[in-house]
Amino acid sequence: MMISGPDVELYIPAVHLWQVQRQHPTSTSSTLRVGWDMVSFMYIFLLYPISCSILHAVSRLTPHHKGLGLDREKPIGVVSEQGRWYQPSDHPVHVLFKRNGQDPTDIVYPEVGSPEWTAAYPSRELDIASLPSAWIDALDHAVAQGRIPDIPPSVMIDDTPTYPGGLDPMSDFVCSTTPKCNSNPDVWWDAPAGIWATSFDDGPLPASDRLFEFLDENEEHATHFFIGVHIREYPERFLTAFETLGGMHIVYPKGLSIIYTHEILVDDIAVHTWTHPHMTTLSNLEILGELGWTMEIIHNSTGGLVPAYWRPPFGDSDNRVNAIAKEVFGLTTVIWNRDTQDWGIESNFTNVPQIEVQVDDWVRGPRSPGLMVLEHELSHETVQAFINIYPVVKDHGWKMMSLAQINGTWANRNPQGSLLRPIGNDDSSPQPMSKEESIMALIRSFRPERYWRTGDQEAYRHFGADSS
């Protein structure tokens, strides 16, 4: 296959250097960088017309790489830069997760699941006294800039978050998502027309194994809203989501320092807090800990990727919580417009047949807005509910996509449009990129500066004042 395109630059991303070091500890980042500069020069000026065909052929002939889940039968496919679940490298939030000013390519992260890795994170209880000062400084700056509304925490009365002083949860000032206030444009409620936004809460858990298998078997991709303590407790399942479902499919042509990514990050890893509390009942510092520690463990377990999405447990958020998530950590709040209520299976509130009837009604209904569906990888029953409804959803013409896939596709179709307000209220579905477009997008994405933030703390302080 011969493809062409202007201004092509080919570099190895820092995250892939981490993957090489993790799988091949004898390799060093400096050796790879030197070798890669030479290979990159030869590639661009001498081998460009034929290299894509060679690499594609190699990827289809290379055996499965242990631990990375390479599927040589799957076609090449990537999502756009806007369509990744993690923040771009120039996002100021990276400053909050730097390690003492180190060059990120020189950081050696503890092996995921090792005692050193586990000891770095809280167990069940969060201690606000142990919060990193950088997080607190960023919060204080956002508060001083007037970007965090002074909404008092709610209290639970009859299992409902209730605000003191008679504050109306549906007011524009509070806008609680529990009673479904949707006036805050920064909160994502709906999918585009004809799209079933596939996401699962509460993992990783033992039940996640079957879900991962089913998604992989059917070549479907989802957003996984992971709980921090569950990542700490089930690190191997987290790695399955990141390395296998997440892509990172890497081919090592023997004797060459070329790293070729077969399929990049096609499942999303997102934040579902550290301990799964009602977020509006917490203080600002407690909110900081719930979000920050979950982002920290994801960041340190993926070679430095910072997630861009979060979902509040129980759908409980308001303008204060949303603002802390956005202004401090750059997170987009995601709710839902359809609830399978699969969380109620264990308590006999619902059952799988009832969920099947409910979903059948949804997919026969209007296609606009699309369906942002609440589902869980909580138990074998909740996973089976999804497996049972899957053919019904597909048979009625709905396209399943992860949140990052939705954002990337609609950003390509509507470059001037907001990612949270996708263009179009018709029944059209996004068209996948051609193989040539996919490879070109892949080549353009190989820039280490897109994966790592190198600014200092002062640069981050401007984020609170200048971001929209």
- For residues 134 and 457, is the Cβ–Cβ distance under 8 A? yes
Looking up tokens 């302080």 gives: 461
Cis check for the bond before 204: say yes or no (omega within 30 of 0).
yes
What does the block give as tokens for 136? 């607190």
Single-letter amino acid, residue 31: T
- For residues 256 and 77, is the Cβ–Cβ distance under 8 A? no
Give the whole-angstrom CA distance, residue 415 versus residue 408. Answer: 10
Report phi then psi at 19, rounded to 5. Answer: -65, -40
Single-letter amino acid, residue 411: A
Catalytic-residue membership of 216: no
Partnered with residue 374 across adjacent β-strands are 339
Q: b vs e for 449-468, b when ≥16 Cβ sit within 10 Å of the residue's Cβ?
A: ebbbbeeeeeebbebbeeee
| Interstrand relation of 332-334 and 371-374 (parallel, antiparallel or unpaired) | unpaired
Give the whole-angstrom CA distance, residue 287 versus residue 388. Answer: 36
- How many CB atoms sit inside 10 A of residue 55's CB? 21
Q: Which of 56, 141, 201, 224 is catalytic?
A: 201
Single-letter amino acid, residue 3: I
What does the block give as tokens for 465? 């004042």
Catalytic-residue membership of 376: yes
What does the block give as tokens for 262? 């077969």
Q: Tell me the catalytic residues.
A: 201, 376
